[in-house]
């Protein structure tokens, strides 16, 4: 039996096994009750299990008196922008995000368009477990579902935040691999509106995912070929629901998704000074770039909700995570690959510096990652034992913002439990591949599984 993960970031499982319609219905009832009825937006990514999950979500929301607006197949950030636009009480995005196609999940968005905070996630879980949903009678239940064009609104919001004419004057050629995800409905249109010459691939959401939905070097093969064949200035590799992005430079070299945020930080700070927010597990390149502009870096626990809250709290000009998710607060304080692509394109257009040169101008830091499968029954105790085993490390600082992060002057290693899968993630960064590998090994030896 594949695992089911019910946590503060939502509920996630394998359709056909653990993510059953009755579970989804009960979660949607809990969320609708928690939000106290009102208007709720619902969207999904194009996975084949989406219509089933969406029907179950809609049934649950209607049962507790919500007014449901169906956004159809649409990126999560488009839903997040539409929640305040439509005066909704919240939203549910049905997306497995970067997880493989057999997975699906519910992500819960609150009235300001951000994900539920950790505390709110806990409250929702309490409502769910209590099972006391506020079902309404026949006089109050809504007898239908409306539609709205969240993608059209997202395009307008993006156009209001960026000077499209200035970017368009450079006539950049952009290859974009939408992975047949929801972004296929948004990103190519947005790039055209930015005046780019767009070379799209995998841009039909009715077709199966051609690759794993997670943007990474491995997922960039087609985008690399397209950049070379089309002599593009830039290649974009998108995830299934429009949050995350990895890049291919004009020489056809695929960049790690870790590079998206540092490049976006450079692009943002070169125009506008202000704080930068990222999580504890993201590359130290963020600090190195921020230091050039004297900008402060705020580190949060891993997870978009934490990053978004810190962006608002500190008035950050950019934020994001090492998974390729970048938030441009002028558009919204949450990961939005269309907004982050525009930020990078604006910088390309303004500096006329090719992406490979921008990368070369950054110090070399190597990130190595290891995902260790751990049974759900011992996931958190394994982490606690690791913390004890490590104790105090000479010449290093130990940070427990999220899991355990041990930092040396020339790098760090971070060990934490995944929010979404039954895994312990180990991430190490150093100035050489060898050193990063040693740190990874150092941590792995101390993790009992």
Q: How far is the CB of 323 from another protein (least distance, A)?
A: 23
Q: How far is the CB of 69 from another protein (least distance, A)?
A: 13
The answer to whether residue 139 forms part of the interface with another protein (CB under 8 A) is yes
Considering the complex, state which of residue 28 and residue 226 has its C-beta at the smaller distance from another protein.
28
The answer to whether residue 147 forms part of the interface with another protein (CB under 8 A) is no
Q: How far is the CB of 145 from another protein (least distance, A)?
A: 6
The answer to whether residue 62 forms part of the interface with another protein (CB under 8 A) is yes
The answer to whether residue 20 forms part of the interface with another protein (CB under 8 A) is yes
Binding segment for another protein among 134-142, 221-229, 282-290, 378-386 (CB under 8 A)? Answer: 134-142
The answer to whether residue 15 forms part of the interface with another protein (CB under 8 A) is yes
Binding segment for another protein among 23-31, 252-260, 327-335, 350-358 (CB under 8 A)? Answer: 23-31
Q: How far is the CB of 45 from another protein (least distance, A)?
A: 12
Binding segment for another protein among 43-51, 154-162, 349-357, 431-439 (CB under 8 A)? Answer: 43-51
CA distance 257 to 248: 10
The answer to whether residue 59 forms part of the interface with another protein (CB under 8 A) is yes
User: Which of the residues 69 through 128 are near another protein (CB under 8 A)?
Assistant: 101-104
The site for another protein, by CB under 8 A, has a size of 41
CA distance 59 to 53: 10
Binder among 48, 152, 375, 376 for another protein (CB under 8 A): 48
Exposure letters 374-389 (e unless 16+ CB within 10 A, then b): beeeebeebbeebeee
Q: How far is the CB of 143 from another protein (least distance, A)?
A: 4
Q: How far is the CB of 19 from another protein (least distance, A)?
A: 8
Q: How many residues does the chain have?
A: 449
Q: How far is the CB of 24 from another protein (least distance, A)?
A: 7
Binder among 11, 40, 41, 63 for another protein (CB under 8 A): 63
The answer to whether residue 38 forms part of the interface with another protein (CB under 8 A) is no
Which has the closest alpha carbon to 154: 182, 119, 125, 117?
A: 182
Q: How far is the CB of 147 from another protein (least distance, A)?
A: 13
The answer to whether residue 56 forms part of the interface with another protein (CB under 8 A) is yes
Binding site for another protein (CB under 8 A): 14-17, 19-22, 24-26, 29, 47-49, 51-53, 55-56, 58-60, 62-63, 101-104, 135-145, 208
């Amino acid at each position: 039996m594949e695992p089911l993960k019910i946590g503060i970031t939502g509920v996630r499982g394998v359709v056909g096994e653990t993510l059953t319609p009755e579970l989804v219905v009960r979660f949607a009832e809990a969320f609708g009750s928690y939000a106290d009825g009102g208007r709720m937006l619902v969207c999904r990514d194009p996975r084949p299990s989406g219509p089933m999950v969406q029907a179950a979500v809609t049934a649950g929301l209607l049962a507790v008196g919500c007014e449901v607006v169906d956004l159809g197949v649409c990126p999560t950030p488009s839903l997040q922008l539409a929640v305040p636009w439509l005066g909704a009480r919240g939203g549910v995005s049905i997306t497995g995000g970067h997880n493989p196609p057999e997975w699906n999940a519910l992500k819960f968005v609150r009235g300001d368009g951000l994900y539920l905070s950790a505390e709110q996630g806990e409250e929702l879980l309490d409502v769910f477990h209590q099972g006391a949903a506020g079902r309404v009678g026949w006089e109050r239940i809504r007898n239908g579902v409306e539609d709205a064009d969240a993608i059209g609104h997202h395009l307008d919001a993006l156009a209001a935040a960026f000077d499209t004419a200035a970017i368009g004057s450079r006539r950049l050629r952009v290859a974009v691999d939408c992975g047949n995800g929801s972004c296929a409905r948004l990103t190519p249109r947005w790039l055209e509106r930015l005046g780019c010459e767009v070379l799209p691939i995998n841009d039909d959401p009715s077709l199966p995912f051609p690759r794993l939905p997670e943007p990474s070097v491995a997922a960039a093969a087609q985008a690399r070929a397209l950049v070379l064949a089309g002599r593009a200035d830039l290649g974009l590799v998108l995830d299934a629901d429009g949050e995350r992005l990895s890049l291919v430079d004009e020489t056809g070299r695929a960049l790690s998704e870790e590079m998206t945020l540092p490049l976006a930080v450079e692009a943002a700070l070169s125009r506008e000074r202000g704080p930068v927010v990222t999580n504890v597990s993201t590359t130290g390149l963020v600090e190195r770039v921020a230091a050039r502009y004297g900008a402060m870096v705020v580190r949060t626990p891993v997870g978009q909700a934490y990053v978004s809250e810190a962006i608002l709290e500190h008035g950050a000009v950019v934020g994001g995570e090492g998974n390729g998710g970048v938030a441009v607060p002028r558009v919204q304080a949450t990961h939005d690959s269309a907004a982050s692509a525009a930020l990078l394109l604006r910088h390309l257009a303004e500096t006329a510096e090719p992406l490979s040169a921008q990368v070369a101008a950054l110090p070399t830091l190597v990130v190595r990652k290891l995902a260790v499968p751990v049974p759900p029954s011992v996931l958190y105790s394994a982490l606690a034992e690791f913390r004890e085993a490590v104790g105090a490390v000479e010449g290093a600082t130990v940070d427990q913002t999220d899991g355990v992060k041990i930092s040396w002057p020339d790098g760090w290693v971070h060990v934490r439990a995944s929010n979404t899968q039954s895994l312990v993630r180990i991430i190490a960064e150093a100035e050489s591949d060898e050193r990063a590998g040693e740190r990874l090994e150092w941590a792995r030896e101390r993790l009992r599984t």
